[in-house]
Each structure stands twice: as C-alpha cells, then as structure tokens.
Amino acid sequence: MAKPTVVFVPGGFHTPAIFDPVLPFLHAAGYPTASVYLPSVGVSPGIPDLSPDVEAVNLVVGGLVELGREVLLVAHSYGGVPSSQGLQGLSKQERQAQGLAGGVVSMLFVSAHLPQKGKSAIESMNDCSPEEKESPSIIKTAPSEDPTALLPENPIEAFYHDLDPAVAKYYASLLRRQSVGPFLSQITHESYRQIPTSCLLLSNDRAVSLARQKRVAKNAGIQQLLGPINCGHSPFLSHPEEVSKFIRQVAGET
C-alpha cells in the first residue's frame, strides 16, 4: 500500500528549508515529500491578504490529489492559518463521495496558529488566557521602512535558542520578510474540523507557549495531542528524527 505524501507548510518568515533535516528520515521510511513556498514570505511590499497563501497550499496539495495521491499535511506555526482556510474539496472523504481517488487523509499541526471561523490570526493571538499572559511570545519585529512586510528582530532567541549557535545563525540568515496582511485576514473555513487532525506540542517554545498550543488545540476541537517534545519553536531542526516518528505515527504506523 502506497504511503501518503507528506506536504510541509512553513511558518511566518520561513522558507521550506526549515524542514530539510526531517526529509531524509521520511524518505528512508518510504514517504514521498513536498513543500509549499508561501507567497507572503520574502516580498516587499507585502501581500494584502491570506488568499495567495491559501492558493499556494491548494496548488501543491491539489496537484498531488489530482494524481490520486493521499496527502498528510504538516503545518508549522503561521502555516496553520492558510492550511485551515484551504483544502476545501481536497479531503479524502470529500473525494470519495465524488468517486475520486486521493485526498488529504490527515493533518499534523506543530505549534500552529488555528484561528476559528470569523477570526484572523492576529485576533486569535491577542486572545490570551491568564496562563498564556505569564509566558507571552517573545518575537519582536525589527524597525522597517515597509510596514507591510516585517523581519524578526530576535530570531535566534525566539526560534532557535536550543540549537548549536552556528546552526542557529545559519537558519536565521535564511529568514525573509513576512507580509502582515495575511495575519489580518479572517478565515471562513476550518479544515481541521473536517480532516483527522493532530497537534504536536513543544514544551520549551518561546514563540508560542505550551499553554497557548494546548488552548489552540482545545478551541479547534483537536483531541489528538502528541508529545510534548522538550524543545523550542523549531523541532524540525533540533529533533528531526523524533519529528519524523510522530509524522509516521499520524500516518498510521504503530
């Protein structure tokens, strides 16, 4: 039986390069992979809304599904937002109902933002519980002449604090401007309520606290919580083999 293609969706500021250390472990286990490059990353001025990122997710996933492939989608951080809004008509259940092969069989969100219908990512992020306020995100944006596309001021502290300094410096050098507009777009679709979904928790995340991760999952109705991994915001870099094992677990391996 063919294994699903694992499609990765990166978070804000990031390119798919953040997933590179995980790929050899998945390939060795027989899993094909693909990645989405989000149009909101690396442009100035920034894109005005979420739709180009949603289209990018749907283009990669839809292309695989049209070939009859099954897809396991892995979304990190902001990548959860276009992944939530997208994928309409691409689930395996919806495809089967039309007599079609392929489809998204499951999703794994890693320290992801999952706004509820009618809310934007920024509204969701600002809606904090008392426990979350005790450990707020430490991400700071650098001063910019372009307010529509920002860079992080403290990427190593926020994203890579548990990596070897040289590795952290390298991945920080790969970061690109993040468009602000998509964070202000309200979502109208919740793919995580239609497709079997799990969340992988990170216990030492300085960008999205563990308390925040748990509440996001609860608000989204996601009961399958994996981990936590004792790491910061970038487990694909710090614990690639462990992440690959969780992905394989979501795929149905025991």
| pLDDT tens for each residue of 59-102 | 999 999 999 999 999 999 999 999 999 999 999 999 999 999 99
Q: Residue 126 has what pLDDT?
A: 75
Fill in the amino acid letter for 176. R
Q: Residue 131 has what pLDDT?
A: 67
CA distance 234 to 239: 8
Q: Are 102 and 64 in contact (CB under 8 A)?
A: yes
CA distance 164 to 10: 21
Can you list the pairs that 213-219 forms with residues at least 24 positions away whose Cβ atoms lie under 8 Å? 213/111, 215/129, 215/132, 216/112, 216/113, 216/114, 216/124, 217/109, 217/114, 219/114, 219/116
Q: Residue 148 has what pLDDT?
A: 96
Look over the chain and give the mean of its residue pLDDT values, rounded to a whole number.
Answer: 95
Write the pLDDT tens digit of every residue in 131-177. Answer: 665 566 778 888 899 999 999 999 999 999 999 999 999 999 999 99
CA distance 49 to 156: 27
Q: Residue 2 has what pLDDT?
A: 87
Write the pLDDT tens digit of every residue in 192-203. Answer: 999 999 999 999
Calculate what percentage of the chain has a pLDDT beyond 70. Answer: 96
HSE-CB at 88 with a 13 A cutoff on CA atoms is 9
Q: Residue 188 has what pLDDT?
A: 96
Q: Where exactly are the structural domains of the chain?
A: 5-250
Nearest residue to 7 (alpha-carbon basis) of 55, 49, 65:
65
Say which CATH class 5-250 falls into.
alpha beta
Q: Residue 103 has what pLDDT?
A: 98
- Indicate yes or no: pTM above 0.75: yes
Whether the predicted pLDDT of 213 surpasses 80: yes
